[in-house]
Structures are given as structure tokens and as C-alpha cells.
Amino acid sequence: MIANSALPNRKMLTFISRRAPYGNGAAKAMLDMVLSAAVFDQQVNYVFMDDGVQQLRRGQEPAAIDAKNLSAAFSALPLYEVSNIFVDSESLQRRGLSPEQLVIDIIVCDSDKIAELIRQSDAVFTL
Amino acid sequence: MKFTIVVYSAPSSQAAWSAYQFTRTALDAGHEIYRLFFYADGVLNSSALSVTPQGEFDLTQAWQTLIAEHELDAISCVSSALKRGIIDTQEAARYERPGASLAAGMTLSGLGQLVDATLASDRVVSFGA
Amino acid sequence: MNPPLSTLHTVNKSAFGSDALAACLRVARSGDAIVLLEDGVYNALDTAALVGAGLARDIVAEHQSRAGPAPTVDSAGMRIYALRKDLQARGIPAEQLPAHVETIAYKDFVALVCTHAKTVSWF
């Protein structure tokens, strides 16, 4: 990081994860962005929407396809002080998932909340 | 205004061309590009080894020209790049690979550079596929 | 001009093969703007797609609160733009587009990014 006292050192960044895990690298790439923003002490919102909610499904055994378990990393998010983690209720509902079937305790929200997070954020990343 | 441009997609997607077109147009309009950040498949835009068939637009070359002309800060995410065979001479030596493949004007660095760019820029514009 | 906290959304996929437009419309709000680019410009032809979930909800809410004239897409307070180069490349004549879609050049896209507080890309 380049130290420059004239710059703001903290922004609110929202990351909207919209892809299922394992089929491609998008979900992992988004997780890495979230962790990186957290390490650099940014105010992070992590939102799961559309197929992104499949990342949270319990019982994943990606070793079967020689992939690393992404959902295991989510339980480490509190260590990075990432606690504003949201899942879109409509995306869950359309995929027949209930909050009890998810790997972590997470804030179930509606699209108005996601719209509000976007409005409050300095920058928004989707992947 | 100060822009940071994030490119998630390979040159085979139009999104990479759109990012290039947007960057060029922003520069023409007198804006500053604080940083180009190539992430995930986007790092393939920084390959020195791609060969474009004659008659097709050579996007990787176009990026290199634009970066040189405007002395842009262009970063390819190192973890994305290594996985996709985009390596500089230092990484080639470290991992004992037969050669380097990172295009001129591009630098390998970490995601911290994206966080820094987000803090330093007025606008972040992302292009993905 | 645009409200200071308004967002510019970009969509670069056709709604027939991707949920990018649907996701955008669910979280875009009155005062925001949408730029259609790449394969996203196909959505410009389909008013029904644009009047999908997000826009329709806003329109209905606004209509009920005002009890005014019949709602239109414009009354959602969301501007919709399509990049001219992408329309041209795909053989979509500007005159075939519905009135609520404005065609723009790349320099206008850059200007829109400046006049909105942030840009969110849906792909």
C-alpha cells in the first residue's frame, strides 16, 4: 500500500457474489477480494445473491472434484472482522434453500436492503 | 476525475475491449487513470505471448501501446496471473519455468493494489464477462 | 441533474441467457441509470424485460402514491442508455428502440460515470 495521508484510508465497499462455487473461479476470486479489503481495514459488506447463495449450502465436499472447500473459508470471516454478511432471501427461496441449510449465520435480507447497501457504499464490486 | 478500471475478463470477451475503449475515451476526455487492475481471467490481457490472427484487432498490443503512451499504472493480480501462466522473469526464475510471459508495461502485484486504487480514485469501473 | 447518491448500472448480457439484467433491476432504484452495452444492448429492444421486476415495482408504487396518469417506464425515474457502437455492431437500428432508451457514444458513457456517485457492473 502506498501511504498518502491526503487520501481517505477507509471506504465502505460492497461485494456482491452472484456465482455458484466450483464451476468456475468467480466465487473464490470474490472471497479473495473481500479478505483483501478486510485486511486493509475497509468497511466491508459481503452479499450473496442469485447463484452466489449456493456457496453457502451445507455439506459441500469439493474434494470429490479436487477442489478446495470454499464454504470452510466462510467460518474464518469473523477473524477478518467481516461481519456484515448478507444473503438475498428471494435468491434462497427460488432455489429452495432455507437459512437453516446454510454453513454460517448470516443476515437474510431483501432487495431493498441490497439497494440501500449499494447506495451507502463508496464502491461496489460484483463477480 | 480519477478512475480505476478493473478488468475481470480475457481478451476473448468483448468486455475486455469495452474496458480498453472506456479507458481510451476517459483519457481523451482529460480524465486521469489512476490504475488499470487486471484480475481473474483479466490477467490474460497482460500476456506478452498471445498472437492475434492477421486482420483481427490485437487487444493485448493495444493495451501495451495505451499504457506506454500515457504511462499508465497497469497491474496484473499476481495470484490470478501465476495460475494462468502470466509470469515475469523473477517468478519464472523462482518457479523454474522456461520463460516469462508478462507484457511490457504491466506489473505483477497483489489485491492490496486494488484496495489502494479504490481509496485513491473518484470512480471504480469494472468490466467482466 | 442526477441525485447525488444515484448509481449507474451497466448490463452487458442478454436477458435470454443471463440473470444480469434481472439482478440489476431488482436493486436499481428511482434516480439510478442503466447503461446497456455489449450483448446487453439486445435488452433495449425488449421493453417487457426492462419493465421487469425492479422497474414494474417502482412504477406501481409511484402510481399508487400519486394516483396520476397511467404509469410508463419513464415514471420509474430511471434512465436507460444503450451504447451506439454495440447496437451498430449487432445490427440494431436506433429507430427500432423504444422511446425510453437513449443511444449514447463512449464519451457519454464516461460522462455518466462521472455524474453518478458510483458504477455497478452486472455481468
Clarify whether B77 is annotated catalytic.
Answer: yes
Domain ranges in chain B are 2-127
- What is the enclosing helix (H) or strand (E) of A72? helix A70-74
Domain ranges in chain A are 12-126
Nine-digit cell string for C63: 402510481
Note the pLDDT tens digit of each residue in B49-86: 999 999 999 999 999 999 999 999 999 999 999 999 99
Q: Which residues of B touch A9 (CB under 8 A)?
A: 119
Q: How far is C33 from chain A (nearest CA, A)?
A: 13
Q: Which residues of B touch A127 (CB under 8 A)?
A: 8, 40, 128
Average pLDDT of adjacent 10-residue blocks, chain A of 127 residues: 67 98 97 98 98 97 96 92 97 97 95 97 98
| Residue in B19, B66, B75, B77 annotated catalytic | B77
Q: How far is A86 from chain B (nearest CA, A)?
A: 21
Cα separation, B85 vs B102, whole angstroms: 9
Burial of A34 (0-12, 13-18, 19+ CB in 10 A): buried
* Cβ atoms of residues A29 and A37 within 8 Å: no
Neighbours of B71 (CB within 10 A): 9
Cα separation, A120 vs B64, whole angstroms: 36
User: Which domains are present in chain C?
Assistant: 7-122 (3.40.1260.10)
For residue C63, what pLDDT is reported?
46
Per the CB < 8 Å rule, is B119 touching A9? Answer: yes
Chains that touch B (3 or more CB pairs under 8 A): A, C
Q: DSSP 3-state assignment of B87?
A: coil
Cα separation, C87 vs C90, whole angstroms: 5
Q: Which residues of C touch B118 (CB under 8 A)?
A: none
For residue C55, what pLDDT is reported?
53
Cα separation, A78 vs B33, whole angstroms: 34
For residue C70, what pLDDT is reported?
42
Q: How far is C61 from chain B (nearest CA, A)?
A: 31
Per the CB < 8 Å rule, is A29 touching B39? Answer: yes
Instruction: List, as ranges, residues 48-77 from B with C-beta within 8 Å of A.
Output: none
Per the CB < 8 Å rule, is B115 touching A37? Answer: yes
Q: Which among B9, B14, B123 has CB closest to C113?
A: B123
CA distances (Å), origin B50, targets A52, A82, A123 = 32, 39, 32
Q: What are the φ/ψ torsions at residue C76 (nearest 5 degrees)?
A: -75, -10
Which residues of C make CB contacts under 8 Å with B?
12, 37-39, 85, 106-107, 109-111, 113-114, 118-119, 121, 123
- Looking at CATH, the fold of the domain delimited by B2-127 is given as Hypothetical Protein Ychn; Chain: A, (3.40.1260)
How many CA atoms are closer than 13 Å to the CA of A23, on its beta-carbon side?
A: 7
Note the pLDDT tens digit of each residue in C59-82: 445 445 545 444 444 546 789 999
pLDDT greater than 60 at residue B11 = yes
In angstroms and rounded to an integer, the radius of gyration of the C-alpha atoms of chain B is 14
Cα separation, B44 vs B16, whole angstroms: 10
CA distances (Å), origin B13, targets A78, B101, B127, C84 = 36, 20, 10, 18
- The yes/no answer to whether this complex scores an ipTM above 0.85 is yes
- Looking at CATH, the fold of the domain delimited by A12-126 is given as Hypothetical Protein Ychn; Chain: A, (3.40.1260)
